[in-house]
């Protein structure tokens, strides 16, 4: 689902999300993609043989080229890149769960422990049960978010 937000700037330069690449790699990737997407290929002096691409419809080409330019404008500036990387990290995988506000915070000891089933249960407001199994329980000192299987409520389970 997170992928729906679109390509990041590294993807635009064909780096496949390789955010840790060096400035040199970045430059090379930029040249390659800029060349490939250039609307009329005026800048062929930097072309390595065989990198000329096929040339698609003009409008589409133009857009791709502009996207590459935008990505490069940010990533070629170390300060801008640093800021962008930070943002990328913060917005990366897992942010959806962090945005969730739990309906309730309980400790493991407040949940009913079913030893036979090896699970901990806690009744949700909808009448269903939040269920967590022993092998999924949070380590001591941490907590996990437990979604209800019947409604959208989330329980925060603390292991103190």
Would you say 65 or 130 has its CB closer to Zn ion? 130
**Range list of β-strands (E), the chain:** 104-107, 112-114, 119-123, 129-133, 143-147, 154-158
Distance CA 119, CA 46 (A): 63
Cβ burial, residue 144 (10 Å; 0-12/13-18/19+): middle
Residue among 55, 95, 126, 133 that touches Zn ion (CB under 5 A): 126
CB of 123 to Zn ion, least distance (A): 9
Residue among 13, 108, 111, 148 that touches Zn ion (CB under 5 A): 148
Going by their DSSP bridges, the two strands 154-158 and 143-147 should be labelled as antiparallel
Asked if 146 touches Zn ion (CB under 5 A), the answer is no
Cβ burial, residue 36 (10 Å; 0-12/13-18/19+): buried
CB of 155 to Zn ion, least distance (A): 9
Asked if 128 touches Zn ion (CB under 5 A), the answer is yes
Q: Which range in 16-24, 53-61, 99-107, 145-153 contacts Zn ion by CB under 5 A?
A: 145-153
- Binders of Zn ion: how many residues, by CB under 5 A? 7
Q: Which range in 91-99, 102-110, 118-126, 139-147 contacts Zn ion by CB under 5 A?
A: 118-126
Asked if 151 touches Zn ion (CB under 5 A), the answer is yes
Residue among 15, 75, 124, 156 that touches Zn ion (CB under 5 A): 124
SS3 144: strand
Asked if 100 touches Zn ion (CB under 5 A), the answer is no
């Amino acid at each position: 689902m997170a992928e729906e937000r679109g390509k990041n700037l590294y993807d635009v330069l064909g780096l496949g999300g390789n955010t840790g690449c060096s400035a040199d790699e970045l430059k090379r990737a930029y040249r390659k993609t800029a060349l490939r997407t250039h609307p009329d290929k005026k800048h062929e002096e930097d072309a390595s043989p065989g990198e000329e691409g096929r040339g698609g419809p003009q409008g589409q080409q133009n857009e791709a080229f502009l996207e590459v330019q935008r990505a490069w404008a940010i990533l070629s500036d170390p300060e801008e890149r640093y800021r962008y990387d930070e943002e990328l990290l913060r917005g990366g995988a897992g942010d959806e769960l962090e945005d969730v506000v739990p309906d309730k915070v309980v400790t493991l000891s407040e949940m009913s422990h079913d030893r036979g089933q090896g699970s901990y249960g806690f009744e949700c407001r909808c009448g269903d049960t939040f269920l967590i199994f022993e092998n999924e329980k949070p380590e001591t000192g941490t907590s996990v978010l437990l979604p209800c299987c019947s409604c959208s409520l989330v329980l925060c389970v603390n292991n103190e």
